[in-house]
Amino acid sequence: MDTAISKIAHIFSECNFPVYIYLPGSSEFYQLISDHPEPKPAPANMIEHLNDESIFFQSFKKGDAYMYFYFLRLSMGDEKFVVMLNSDKDRTSLNCITFSMFNKLKEMEVTIQEELNEANESVQILRKSRQKMLKLLDGLVMPLFSITPEYNVLNVNKELSELINESHIPSILNKKCYEVIHGFSEPCSFCRMSEIVAGEEVSGQTIELDFGGKHYYFEHHMFPIYASTGEMDEIGEFMIDVTENYQNLEHIEKYKEKVKSIQMAEVDKMNEMGELKRAYKDLSKSYDDMFSKNNKMSKALSSLMENNNVNEIVKMRQETREVKNKLIRSATALKNFQTALDMQQDKYTELSKKTIYQLERLINTVNKKSMITDNDVKILLKTVTEDVKELRTTLKVPPPPESS
């Protein structure tokens, strides 16, 4: 408003008679002195003429002289102005002066109106842009909202309203964020408001929250929003759901522990197989000793038979039967050991194959997920892959078929 009055004052800067500006909307009254508007009380006897839009000229007689008043009525946007010129010159002279000034005022009015139209057009463009931006924010798949330094909610997007199960967005606004969003009675422990208000730079952080009976992991961010005056009057806040990432990390940790347990089981199996091999070796040696003894006894028996020593023959036959029984028992035990060894080896080999295939399917699934970008996840995947590779080499297990 002061800018518009200053422009009008500039036009009348060369006038050698009083010039006044009246604002009907606010009843403000100014006198232009040295190209500068100064507030003055409006003359009581002129209020009626100033407010009557049908009056453009008025004269008053004072003794033998006349006082002439000319009213120029202008509109600039939604605001109306009345320029009142006061002179004791005759009407014809005043008409010439005011006509020239009126033309300048009309030119100014056109110019100002064009500027207003351009400004209105810019406002419309900004409004449309803001509407598109609001639609874009509603389309984001992450909760986004803004609050005042007093924790009052100013704006929220659709994702946040769905997260807290409140479809009527206006019921969220102007309430304390920690109450309406998180259900707390005081500011959240993870809030960075004090740091932002103090002008400090804050980075993102990982927080854990519960909504609708479900546990979430969020990457939480807060940032200042400044007004056109340069003052911070708003704080933005958004949360990125990284729950799936954390669940995948937990699964990988569990399977890493499982791989370790399998490795320990393989070590135990190797030790058991070593013991079985040693037992087999001892049994085989015992069998060889008995077989050698049997051969000796057979030779001795043949020798006795040649000498017709019946008692010795009977005794040798008895010993032969005993040795034969021992040989049969030894052979049976040896066969049982061999069968148990084969079954145990098949059992551990099949279990190892099955576990390795399961681990590799998990690793393939995790590797295909675009959300897993954390360096820790890559290190864990690398560790699991190397462990499986080492396990394959040890067990001589062929690679699984390629997944489609």
**Can you tell me the distance from the alpha carbon of 327 to that of 349, in angstroms, rounded to the nearest whole number?**
33
Q: Write down the CATH number for the domain with range 2-132.
A: 3.30.450
pLDDT tops 70 at residue 60: yes
Q: Where are the domains of the chain?
A: 2-132, 147-241, 246-395
User: In this predicted model, which residue has the larger pLDDT, 31 or 60?
Assistant: 31
Nearest to 25 by CA among 83, 82, 80, 84: 80
pLDDT tops 90 at residue 152: yes
Share in percent of the chain as helix, strand, coil (round to 5): 55, 20, 25
Same fold, 2-132 and 246-395: no
pLDDT tens-digit series, residues 180-229:
999 999 999 999 999 999 989 888 899 999 988 899 999 999 999 888 78
- One of 3.30.2170, 1.20.120, 1.10.10, 1.10.287 is the CATH number of 246-395, namely 1.10.287
pLDDT tens-digit series, residues 158-194:
888 888 888 888 899 999 999 999 999 999 999 999 9
Q: What is the mean pLDDT of the chain?
A: 77
Residue at token pair 């970008």: 373
Tell the CATH topology of 147-241.
Beta-Lactamase (3.30.450)
**Can you tell me the distance from the alpha carbon of 213 to that of 30, in angstroms, rounded to the nearest whole number?**
67
Assess contact for 232 and 224: CB atoms under 8 A. Answer: yes
**Can you tell me the distance from the alpha carbon of 72 to that of 11, in angstroms, rounded to the nearest whole number?**
13
pLDDT tens-digit series, residues 63-76:
777 777 888 887 77
Question: What is the average per-residue pLDDT within 372-396?
Answer: 66
**Can you tell me the distance from the alpha carbon of 135 to that of 177, in angstroms, rounded to the nearest whole number?**
22
The pLDDT of residue 395: 60
